Amino acid sequence: MQFDVLYRPAHALARVWLQANESVVAESGAMVGMSSRVHMETRSGGFLSGLKRMFGAESFFRNTFTAHGAPGELLLAHALCGDMRVLEMTQAGFFLQSSAFVASTPNVEIETKLGGFRSFFAGEGVFILQAKSASPGLLLVGAFGGIEELVCDGNMVIDTGHLVAWDATLTYSVGKSGSGWIASYLSGEGLVCHFEGHGRIWIQTRNPAAYGQDVASLLPPRQG
């Protein structure tokens, strides 16, 4: 299997080359196009995990695409304008912000986790995803804006709305940005994620929630 990311960085499109009988798992709604030998199968992975995913602002179902009997291709896109990145699975795996998941090889286990109690107030990151695999695999993540890889060497503070993914070797905690709650509120930062340890962090250069709030505040109120 091979992932190519085209039309970077503003409107990335991923082309997945599948060998005969190879499969790829993708987020519901991500499919743009596919060759005719590729068949789609929808799975919730059990009612409970589907329900958990729904709370994580993802879809209840995930789709498995399989190239039956012959090689095939599949095109995938993210909902927002922005870049995509292919991550090679590591032993420790990754944590993902819930809307960053686009696709993965079928051996990658994606589990929904509670992102931390405090993040509840931010309306984002209530649930995060953990990607793990016992064998080599690929993970495709999507972002709003550009994707920048930061190396955490000690500790870093990142706005929760700008997080895409991070190495599971890092420890993290969600908390306030400033020294006190009032200062944090006035600073306009809301909640941030404190990272400790050594590992990579991928960030997106735009914050989808902040963008939505900015534009929505200028729109007329919803009726009914």
Would you count residue 187 as binding other proteins (CB under 8 A)?
yes
Would you count residue 162 as binding other proteins (CB under 8 A)?
yes
- Amino acid found at 62: R
DSSP string, 81-108: SB-EEEEE--SS-EEEEGGGEEEE-TT-
Which of residues 46, 88, 91, 224 is near other proteins by CB under 8 A? 224
- Amino acid found at 101: F
Would you count residue 205 as binding other proteins (CB under 8 A)?
yes
Q: Which secondary-structure segment (H or E) carries 173?
A: strand 171-176
18/203 with CB nearer other proteins? 203
- 213: helix, strand or coil: helix
Would you count residue 47 as binding other proteins (CB under 8 A)?
no
The CB-of-31 to other proteins minimum distance in angstroms stands at: 24
72/115 with CB nearer other proteins? 115
φ, ψ at 212 (rounded to 5°): -60, -45
Would you count residue 92 as binding other proteins (CB under 8 A)?
no
The CB-of-161 to other proteins minimum distance in angstroms stands at: 9
- Per the DSSP assignment, residues forming a β-bridge with 110 are 131
Would you count residue 159 as binding other proteins (CB under 8 A)?
yes
> What is the distance between the alpha carbons of residues 17 and 223, in angstroms, rounded to a whole number?
46
The CB-of-173 to other proteins minimum distance in angstroms stands at: 12
Which of residues 2, 7, 10, 35 is near other proteins by CB under 8 A? 10
- 223: helix, strand or coil: coil
Would you count residue 170 as binding other proteins (CB under 8 A)?
no
Which of residues 91, 117, 135, 215 is near other proteins by CB under 8 A? 215
Burial class (CB within 10 angstroms; exposed 0-12, middle 13-18, buried 19+) of 71: middle
Cβ atoms of 189 and 215 within 8 Å: the answer is: no
> What is the distance between the alpha carbons of residues 88 and 90, in angstroms, rounded to a whole number?
6
Binding interface with other proteins (CB under 8 A): 9-10, 81-82, 145-146, 148, 150, 154-159, 162, 177-178, 183, 186-189, 194, 201, 203, 205-207, 210-211, 214-215, 217-220, 222-224
